[in-house]
Each structure stands twice: as structure tokens, then as C-alpha cells.
């Protein structure tokens, strides 16, 4: 095992890559709980792929990563969730655009729970009957989204932002996608992406490092997964321009919902991807967080029925800056306020320092939480292919002038706006 230490955070990570390619990260902290997470580096935005040496790409329906997540809990002769419950552990799973994670939190019977986690992800059981049954369950979940004003504008904004990238598809897929998924699709996708070499196991909490690593190695010594698989994801060119700049949707509703995506080409003048993300998130925080001037405006203006939710995601060669807000009447005013606020390149150094301190405090607190430690490790491996052990110093040494220099050249002229309006007569 190799020991890596997060500087100034009193956090040590013990890591080893097993012969089958599984990357294991163990962290011991004095907490009366343990969180274990197995993550497949496969999410809802990957739909065309092949293994090295294969001629053509396989294309699968949107929503298959989420469908696969559901099916991994169904086994022929046991129920993984009942085992967790019997041992007093809480367990769940989630699928994002980029990963699928299975996890549990609990202290009692830890090794039985860990064995259960490993069995759960490594023992697929798909039949025609249980796949058809699951379609109905997931279709119902999708129908609930189709009735949600948030997901209506969110999903339409994705479609109006991206022309070619599969990120435009929702994680659940469409009802047609869900209905088209077959047992063969699931096995093909599982066999490609659920090999240990494409997975990360993270465990944090009151664990014995050596004993836990021995248990993991013993488990995998009894299973032959074959050679590590080299997966090639189909690359797709994506234009800078959004597909559609504005769309209005009419639905029976009492309020108006707005969703805006800014499609921002990545700034290439900073090689440090971690710092680039930090700068972009500080930019949003300075303009739209509770520490911003805007929060006071939206609180006092009766047109705003919610605060303006802002977030950033990296998708291919783009930063996607997303904004969602619910208003009573004037959508044009709300859209203009967001646009003007975002394009205002005047920044207050005092506010910058406050947000910098808030980020440092948040980082320190996150290292006290067993689940957040595992999330941090997975996110850093996905984004940077390694742990950012000096991130405390990167945050501590953030420079106001360097921040302004990074932000000033971003192009905010490519955006799509989706507005959900009440049908006439519904106001």
C-alpha cells in the first residue's frame, strides 16, 4: 500500500491498485461509523463505446446506466438490501452523468456488509422477466419527472444546449429509451464497465487499514475477472453555439419556471484543472450565493418566488453554467438580471476573501465526514486522475488578480433559455 497525506488536513489515504485493476482507497478517521462506496466510472452520458481491438462502437439506449443501477440490487437467491438492514446499515446507490456508485454506512458486521457490497456489484442477475418488470418501475419514475416543472425545463435546456454530446440525454432516458432496454443491453454494458479495472473502492471511518485491505484482497483472490479492459468512448465534436437560444413551454401551473444554460468554451490559459474549477465556482458564488449582492435583491423582490440556483459542470470542452429560478410574473426581468449579473466583471476583493475562507472552512469540515471523504476521492479520481493532496494550499493561496485574469476572457454569449409559462387562463 501507498500512503498519501492531504496536507494541513490531518487526512491520510492508503491506496493500492489490485492485480485486476481495482483502485482501492482506505481512510481511517476516529468516527463511530464506516462508509464504503464502490463506484463504476460509467454514467448516464456514455452511450457509445467499444473495447480496444473492436471495430465498431456499440450504442446503447439513454438511461441504461441508471437501469443497470436498479438491477444490480436484484439477485436470484438473496436480497442485498435485507442483509444491510439486518446489520443495521443504511445503503443506497445513485447514477450521475459520469458515474454509478453503490454505498453503505454502518459499523456493526462491517466485513459482512463489505462482502455484501462486493457481491452486489459483481454478481449480475438479469432475466427477461425481471428486466420487463423493472421497465415499469423506472417508467413510473420518469413520468414523475415529466410532471415536474423543474425537470421539464431542465431536460429541455439540455436538449437545447447540446447538439452531439450524449450529455443532452437525461440520466433516466426517455420513456422510449426505457422501453427499448434489453437483457442483452444490460449484460453488454455491465461486462464492459463493471470490470474492477474501471471501478474505485473507497472506505472511510473507524477501520483497521491492514485488516480491511487483506479482506479485499482475499475476496478478489477467489474471483477471476480476466484482464483489465481498455474502453474507448466515442468522441463527438460539439459546436460552441447552443442548439436553440430560447423556448417557451406552456403547462398547467400557477408559477413560471426558468432554466438557463450558458455554454462556455473552456479557458485554456490555465493548465491547473483544479484551480480552473475553483475559479469558476468562486465566480458563481461571488455573483449568486448568499454572500452576493443579488441575494438581497431576490429576497426583497416579490416577483422572485425562489432564490436563483446556480451551478457549474464540466462537459467535454465546455463549462456549463446553469441557473434555475421560479418567478411570479416577469420572466424577462429575471433573465436579464441573471445575464447582467453574470456579465458584470466588477469584483469585490473583500467578498472574494470571504468566499475563499468559506471554501477553506467547507473543505476542513468535509474531511470530518466519512461519506464526503469517499465522495472527494471519487471526484478527484474522475476529474484529475489522482488525488489533489495539496488542495488546502491551493485554496489558501488563491490570488484575487489571478482570479480576475482567468474570468475576464470567458465568452458568455452562447446561452439557451427555457421558460415554463402557465397555460392561458391558469393565472
Q: Which residue is listed with cell 472552512?
A: 361
Q: What are phi and psi of 172, to 5 degrees?
A: -80, -20
Provide the grid cell at 51.
473495447
Please pick, among 16, 54, 69, 97, the residue that the annotation labels catalytic: 69
Give the Cα separation of 203 and 198 in Å (integer).
17
SS3 271: coil
Provide the grid cell at 412.
458568455
Is residue 69 annotated as part of the catalytic site, yes or no? yes
Q: Judging by DSSP bridges, how do beta strands 58-59 and 11-17 pair with one another?
A: unpaired
User: Quick check: 380 and 408 in contact, CB under 8 A?
Assistant: no
Residues 299-319 as b or e (16 or more Cβ within 10 Å = b): eeeeebeebbebeebebeebb
User: How far from 68 is each of 171, 182, 249, CA to CA, in Å?
Assistant: 11, 11, 32
Q: Which residue is listed with cell 432554466?
A: 259
Give the Cα separation of 88 and 100 in Å (integer).
23
Residues 260-279 as b or e (16 or more Cβ within 10 Å = b): bbbbbebbeeeeeebbbbbb
SS3 348: coil
Q: Judging by DSSP bridges, how do beta strands 231-233 and 309-315 pair with one another?
A: unpaired
Counting every residue written for the chain, the total comes to: 427
Provide the grid cell at 219.
475476496
Closest C-alpha to 138, from 168, 98, 188, 174: 174
Provide the grid cell at 291.
454572500
Give the Cα separation of 358 and 255 in Å (integer).
34
SS3 384: helix
Q: What is the dihedral of CA 339, 342, 345, 348, to 10 degrees?
A: 130
Give the Cα separation of 325 and 334 in Å (integer).
8
Closest C-alpha to 403, from 264, 282, 284, 290: 282
Provide the grid cell at 26.
482506505
Q: Catalytic residue numbers?
A: 69
Amino acid at each position: 500500500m501507498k500512503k498519501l497525506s492531504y496536507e494541513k488536513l490531518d487526512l491520510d489515504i492508503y491506496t493500492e491498485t489490485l492485480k485486476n485493476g481495482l483502485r482501492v482507497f482506505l481512510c481511517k478517521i476516529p468516527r463511530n461509523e464506516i462508509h464504503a462506496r464502490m463506484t463504476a466510472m460509467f454514467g448516464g452520458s456514455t452511450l457509445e463505446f467499444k473495447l480496444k481491438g473492436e471495430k465498431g462502437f456499440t450504442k446503447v439506449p439513454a438511461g441504461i446506466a441508471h437501469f443497470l443501477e436498479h438491477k444490480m440490487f436484484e439477485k436470484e437467491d438473496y436480497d442485498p438490501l435485507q442483509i444491510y438492514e439486518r446489520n443495521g446499515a443504511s445503503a443506497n446507490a445513485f447514477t450521475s452523468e459520469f458515474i454509478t456508485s453503490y454505498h453503505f454506512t454502518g459499523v456493526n458486521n462491517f466485513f459482512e456488509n463489505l462482502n455484501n457490497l462486493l457481491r452486489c456489484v459483481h454478481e449480475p442477475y438479469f432475466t427477461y422477466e425481471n428486466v420487463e418488470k423493472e421497465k415499469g418501475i423506472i417508467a413510473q419514475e420518469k413520468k414523475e419527472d415529466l410532471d415536474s416543472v423543474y425537470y421539464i425545463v431542465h431536460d429541455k435546456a439540455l436538449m437545447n444546449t447540446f447538439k452531439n454530446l450524449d450529455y443532452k440525454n437525461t440520466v433516466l432516458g426517455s420513456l422510449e429509451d426505457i422501453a427499448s432496454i434489453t437483457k442483452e443491453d444490460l449484460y453488454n454494458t455491465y461486462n464492459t464497465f463493471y470490470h474492477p479495472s474501471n471501478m474505485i473502492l473507497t472506505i472511510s471511518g473507524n477501520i483497521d487499514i491492514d485488516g480491511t485491505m487483506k479482506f479485499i484482497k482475499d475476496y478478489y483472490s477467489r474471483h477471476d475477472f480476466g484482464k483489465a479492459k481498455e474502453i474507448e468512448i466515442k468522441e463527438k465534436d460539439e459546436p460552441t453555439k447552443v442548439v436553440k437560444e430560447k423556448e417557451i413551454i406552456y403547462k398547467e401551473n400557477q408559477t413560471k419556471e426558468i432554466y438557463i444554460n450558458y455554454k462556455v468554451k473552456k479557458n485554456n490559459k490555465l493548465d491547473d484543472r483544479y484551480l480552473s474549477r475553483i475559479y469558476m465556482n468562486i465566480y458563481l458564488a461571488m455573483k449568486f450565493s448568499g454572500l452576493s449582492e443579488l441575494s438581497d435583491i431576490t429576497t426583497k423582490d416579490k416577483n422572485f418566488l425562489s432564490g436563483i440556483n446556480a451551478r457549474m459542470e464540466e462537459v467535454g470542452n465546455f463549462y456549463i453554467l446553469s441557473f434555475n429560478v421560479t418567478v411570479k410574473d416577469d420572466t424577462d426581468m429575471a433573465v436579464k438580471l441573471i445575464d447582467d449579473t453574470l456579465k458584470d466583471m466588477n469584483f469585490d476583493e473583500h467578498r472574494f476573501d470571504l468566499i475563499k475562507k468559506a471554501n477553506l472552512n467547507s473543505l476542513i469540515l468535509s474531511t470530518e465526514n466519512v461519506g464526503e471523504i469517499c465522495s472527494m476521492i471519487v471526484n478527484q479520481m474522475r476529474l484529475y486522475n489522482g488525488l489533489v493532496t495539496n488542495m488546502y494550499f491551493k485554496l489558501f493561496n488563491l490570488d484575487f488578480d489571478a482570479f480576475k485574469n482567468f474570468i475576464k476572457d470567458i465568452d458568455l454569449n452562447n446561452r439557451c433559455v427555457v421558460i415554463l409559462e402557465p397555460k392561458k387562463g391558469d393565472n
